[in-house]
Chains A and B, each alone.
Chain A
Amino acid sequence: MLTYLGRRLIASIFVILMVAIFVFSLLYLTPGDPAAIIAGDQATPEMVARIRQSLKLDEPYLVRFSDWLLQIVQGDLGNSIYTGQPILQQIGLRFGPTLSLMVVSMTLSTLVAIPLGIVAAWKQNSRVDRGLMVFSTLGFSIPVFVVGYLLAYFFGLKLKWLPVQGYAPLSSGLWNWMRHLILPSIALGSAFIGLLARMTRAAMLQVLSQDYVRTAKAKGLGQGEILFRHALKNAAVPITTVVGLGIAGLISGAVVTESVFALPGLGRMTADAILRRDYPVIQSLILLFSLNYLIVNLLVDITYTFFDPRVRY
């Protein structure tokens, strides 16, 4: 187990290093002068020169890269071109809303999708099953921001049940925090619920056709016992894998969802950074999101041993 963890950790460090090389090299690989593009069309030559200097584009690639990497390892992500402030500090300020959104959305999606998938597999080809398949195709066909606007329009603007936009920190009260997160979480989770429910259904169907499930039925076990003790536990591994992979989709979705609901999180920070062409900020956020993805998937691999004692590393 420990040697496996060590190997996975080294592999993850290798992957994150590759991501770093990639986002860094983009500055050099893209056609044209990145400083001029970042500065925009109305920039004066002085502004372009200032940006070129702050990105240290005149220095040789390898020197610049090793300096940059050394800085990051020491926890310094550099400064924003637009505000001049340290990027790490800004990320710290924006972290709360995104983490809240992800946690609430993930919890909500899992609580809805897994039972749905189980029922669909249990009653295969029933109305519930067909309904789920239609619903899940709809879920990943309608863009996150469209679901967001529909929810905000009906539940926020027309019915006035929940706030249309905005964010309240957890310190302002649990319900107040939750109230602002319900609509964004549903919007963000809409595609993921469909995917997860489908995967749960497929994994459960696979397990339910196994011999030991027939044996369990034959010896007279109840439906609940078979579904939850025998089937779900064995279907857990593929289900958790999808949950882990879903994180990448949720991050992409968060960028858009936070714009729709005006949540001041990392996604909003990304959108702002694009409009200002603030490449150091974009670069840092990509590294952060990739790191997050790798850590979650490492955790997912570790949970395999918990669900399935046969998995040994």
Chain B
Amino acid sequence: MVGANDHLSVLPVTETGGRRARRTFLRHSGAVVGGSILFIFLTISLLAPLLWTSDPLSVEPMDRLQGMSEKHWFGTDMHGRDLYSRVVYGGRVSLLVGFSVAFLASMIGGLIGLFAGFIRPLDGPLMRVMDGFMSIPPIMLAIALVALTRGSIQNVIIAISIAEIPRVSRLVRGVVLTLREQPYIEAAISMGAGPLRVVFRHILPNAIGPIVVQATFICASAMLAEAALSFIGAGTPPITPSWGNILAEGRMLWQIHPAMVFLPAAALSVTVLAVNMLGDGLSDIFDPRGLGKS
């Protein structure tokens, strides 16, 4: 015989959503480690001028290709520029590209997905257009855009965002298609809620979890894409100290001066890894049923 109180003790009534989220977050040490590393890198790149850096663009031909020393912690590149300063400032470009693309792609892709999922006549045409974009490899799409415009951080951000939009819109459309069949949506409509209210008030808040998770992964892949684009010469202008550009310049010299390749490579890999770890953790918190797993 089971008493009423036994039921009560089983139900997690005392735990609020926030507390549960925090407990889950702490249990996923990967997310905590990833989040902390990302926070440290973000702080470093924001405080770059204060962290004993010199001008990352100042050229000292006498000091070129030096090893690690007290004056140049990471050595210098072939123009005698201080590698430590360049790597620290390079983080700004990578993080800026990562966060901007994540924001732009999830905003625009999210809107397209919302409308495709909710307004049926729009679904076919919108999704066919997205299929077309998806069949172009993301880097090729960015290459085409960058080849026709002058290379700038702004154009790189736009190019990578366009490449990422279809993935977000497919995901959000899928989530909306499952959500719209829920009884509470039907209830909202029967009480006279208009389509805009249903979409933004009832569907969007429930789709936000998978979108945030997806945005994290987009941030990671955008940072990789920026580096790859800069590496093959279609990214940020060569004068900008970005991790991809330092790598690209080190390409010719890597057999004799490997630091120019391995230092920015390590910084980039650790940052991307941190973002991915954070994303994995967030996906367990926001999305326990795996709606957003693509």
Interchain CB contact under 8 A, B150 and A255: no
Residues 270-301 (chain A) with a chain B CB within 8 angstroms: 270-271, 273-275, 277, 279, 282-283, 285-286, 289-290, 293-294
Name the A residues within 8 Å of B233 (CB-CB): 271, 274-275
**Minimal Cβ-Cβ distance residue in A for B224:** A143
CB distance from A215 to the nearest CB of B (A): 25
The segment out of A21-29, A98-106, A120-128, A179-187 that lies at the interface is A21-29
Convert A187-199 into 0s and 1s, putting 1 for each residue whose CB lies closer than 8 angstroms to a CB of B. Answer: 0000000000000
B232 at the interface (CB under 8 A from A): yes
- Interface contacts (Cβ under 8 Å), in number, total 136
With A37-B150, A141-B276 as known contacts, state yes or no: A251 contacts B228, CB within 8 Å.
no
B227 at the interface (CB under 8 A from A): yes
Interchain CB contact under 8 A, A34 and B148: yes
Interchain CB contact under 8 A, B254 and A149: yes
Name the A residues within 8 Å of B148 (CB-CB): 26-27, 30, 34, 37-38, 279
With A149-B265, A286-B140 as known contacts, state yes or no: A137 contacts B128, CB within 8 Å.
no
Interchain CB contact under 8 A, B234 and A252: no
Interchain CB contact under 8 A, B135 and A294: yes
B291 at the interface (CB under 8 A from A): no
A15 at the interface (CB under 8 A from B): yes
Convert A131-147 into 0s and 1s, putting 1 for each residue whose CB lies closer than 8 angstroms to a CB of B. Answer: 00000011011111110
CA distance A146 to B254 in the complex (A): 11
B156 at the interface (CB under 8 A from A): no
CA distance A275 to B141 in the complex (A): 16
Interchain CB contact under 8 A, B140 and A270: yes
CA distance A113 to B131 in the complex (A): 27
B273 at the interface (CB under 8 A from A): yes
Interchain CB contact under 8 A, B269 and A146: yes
Interchain CB contact under 8 A, B255 and A293: no
Interchain CB contact under 8 A, B228 and A19: no
Interchain CB contact under 8 A, A252 and B139: yes
B268 at the interface (CB under 8 A from A): yes
A18 at the interface (CB under 8 A from B): yes
Convert B148-172 into 0s and 1s, putting 1 for each residue whose CB lies closer than 8 angstroms to a CB of A. Answer: 1110000000000000000000000
B277 at the interface (CB under 8 A from A): yes
CA distance A5 to B137 in the complex (A): 24
B93 at the interface (CB under 8 A from A): no
CB distance from A27 to the nearest CB of B (A): 7
CB distance from B148 to the nearest CB of A (A): 4
A31 at the interface (CB under 8 A from B): yes
CA distance A15 to B131 in the complex (A): 7
B198 at the interface (CB under 8 A from A): no
Name the B residues within 8 Å of A290 (CB-CB): 135-137
B262 at the interface (CB under 8 A from A): yes
With A142-B269, A143-B227 as known contacts, state yes or no: A252 contacts B128, CB within 8 Å.
no
Interchain CB contact under 8 A, B135 and A252: no
Interchain CB contact under 8 A, A23 and B220: no
Interchain CB contact under 8 A, A274 and B135: no
CB distance from A252 to the nearest CB of B (A): 4
Interchain CB contact under 8 A, B232 and A256: yes
Convert A36-59 into 0s and 1s, putting 1 for each residue whose CB lies closer than 8 angstroms to a CB of B. Answer: 011000000000000000000000
Interchain CB contact under 8 A, B261 and A149: yes
Interchain CB contact under 8 A, A18 and B129: yes
Name the B residues within 8 Å of A285 (CB-CB): 140
* Chain B interface (Cβ < 8 Å from any Cβ of A): 128-129, 131-141, 143-150, 220, 224, 227-228, 231-234, 247, 251, 254-255, 258, 261-262, 265, 268-269, 272-273, 276-277, 280, 293
* Chain A interface (Cβ < 8 Å from any Cβ of B): 11, 14-16, 18-19, 22-23, 26-27, 30-32, 34, 37-38, 137-138, 140-146, 149, 153, 157, 164, 202, 248-249, 251-252, 255-256, 259-260, 270-271, 273-275, 277, 279, 282-283, 285-286, 289-290, 293-294
**5 A-B pairs closest in CB distance:** A18-B132, A252-B139, A141-B273, A146-B265, A30-B148
